[in-house]
Copies of this chain bind each other. A is one copy, B any other.
Amino acid sequence: MRNLLLTLCYDGAGYHGWQIQENAVAVQQVLQEAIEKVLQQKPDIKGCSRTDTGVHAHCFCVSMKTGHPIPCQRLQAALNHFLPPDMAVLSCREVPLSFHARYSCVGKEYEYVIWNSPVRSPFLRDRALHYWYPLDVEQLNRAAAHFVGPHDFTSFCTTDSRDRGDMTRTVTASHWRREGEKVIYTVAADGFLYNMVRILVGTMLRVAERKFTPEEMPRILQAKDRRKAGPTAPACGLYLNRVFYDPADLILPGEKGE
């Protein structure tokens, strides 16, 4: 038995998120069917998170246990042959049997992309939030800075969500940048609550609209009340950008660390 780590890139516009469900096409199902075609075995695959309908991934990690002896490179090439064009396997490597794409994950980085222009972009439909009102990146950054550090993010989590227990997450990066008419938010943390990035973005857009000041962010955090934050920004702007693991968890027995 081997354990393989696949990194996947996908345009989420055509999928109902990662997780397999009835009456809707999920990324997991499409990947699973491609693996079955290649290995002639029903695979047991684990995703690093459950992305929502319409959310994209530059790098989504999947672990998969298999008794099949196929070399990693050949599996990657075969999967890219069978997968649809809006999905691609970027890499494939063997990892220890103890590795799990979700439970071994120590952090993630998301990007949220806004097309900030009076006119929509035909090339970014379903891939960015189209936002007319001119955004002031400096002001957004004053708001974003308040989220860095360990905080209880209850106010930034969809109520009735799957998240239970400790709502504290440690945000290690939270900043905005402008690239022409694109305005991009980057946020990294040891973990994310349900809809957390989209509510952070929706709340900071309220700052842009002068409905909140940047200095009100700590008060919203302290309230631990979803109703105090802004709306949930649309899924189409959200990209899972990077997934972090402890390198020690990736090294096979007998393999040398770098």
| A133 CB, min distance to chain B CBs, angstroms | 16
* Residue pair A85, B125 in contact (C-beta under 8 Å): yes
* Residue pair B123, A127 in contact (C-beta under 8 Å): yes
| A17 CB, min distance to chain B CBs, angstroms | 15
Proximity string of chain A (84-105) to chain B, C-beta cutoff 8 Å, 1 when within and 0 when not: 0111111000000000000000
Q: Does A2 contact B (CB under 8 A)?
A: no
| A74 CB, min distance to chain B CBs, angstroms | 14
| A123 contact from B11, B119, B120, B122, Cβ within 8 A | B11
Proximity string of chain A (234-253) to chain B, C-beta cutoff 8 Å, 1 when within and 0 when not: 00000000000000000000
Q: Please report the C-alpha to C-alpha distance between residue A123 and residue B86 in the assembled complex, in whole angstroms.
A: 7
Interface size class of A (residues with CB under 8 A): 20 to 34
Q: Please report the C-alpha to C-alpha distance between residue A90 and residue B125 in the assembled complex, in whole angstroms.
A: 15
The B-contacting residues of A in range 132-155, CB under 8 angstroms, are none
Q: Please report the C-alpha to C-alpha distance between residue A127 and residue B120 in the assembled complex, in whole angstroms.
A: 18
The B-contacting residues of A in range 153-199, CB under 8 angstroms, are none
Q: Please report the C-alpha to C-alpha distance between residue A56 and residue B89 in the assembled complex, in whole angstroms.
A: 27
The B-contacting residues of A in range 95-130, CB under 8 angstroms, are 119-123, 125-127
Chain B residues positioned under 8 Å from A80 (CB to CB):
119-120
Q: Please report the C-alpha to C-alpha distance between residue A85 and residue B9 in the assembled complex, in whole angstroms.
A: 24
| A241 CB, min distance to chain B CBs, angstroms | 13
Q: Does A18 contact B (CB under 8 A)?
A: no
Which B-chain residue is minimally distant from A14 (CB atoms)? B122
Which B-chain residue is minimally distant from A130 (CB atoms)? B85
Chain B residues positioned under 8 Å from A125 (CB to CB):
11, 85-86
The B-contacting residues of A in range 53-84, CB under 8 angstroms, are 56, 76, 80
Chain B residues positioned under 8 Å from A9 (CB to CB):
119, 121-123
The B-contacting residues of A in range 29-67, CB under 8 angstroms, are 56
The 7 A-B residue pairs with the shortest CB-CB distance in the complex, in nearest-first order: A85-B125, A11-B122, A86-B122, A88-B119, A88-B120, A10-B122, A88-B122
A-side interface residues toward B, CB under 8 Å? 9-11, 56, 76, 80, 85-90, 119-123, 125-127
List, sorted by A's number, 17 A–B pairs whose CB atoms are closer than 8 Å: A9-B122, A9-B123, A10-B122, A11-B122, A11-B123, A11-B125, A56-B123, A80-B119, A80-B120, A85-B122, A86-B122, A88-B119, A88-B120, A88-B122, A89-B119, A90-B119, A123-B127
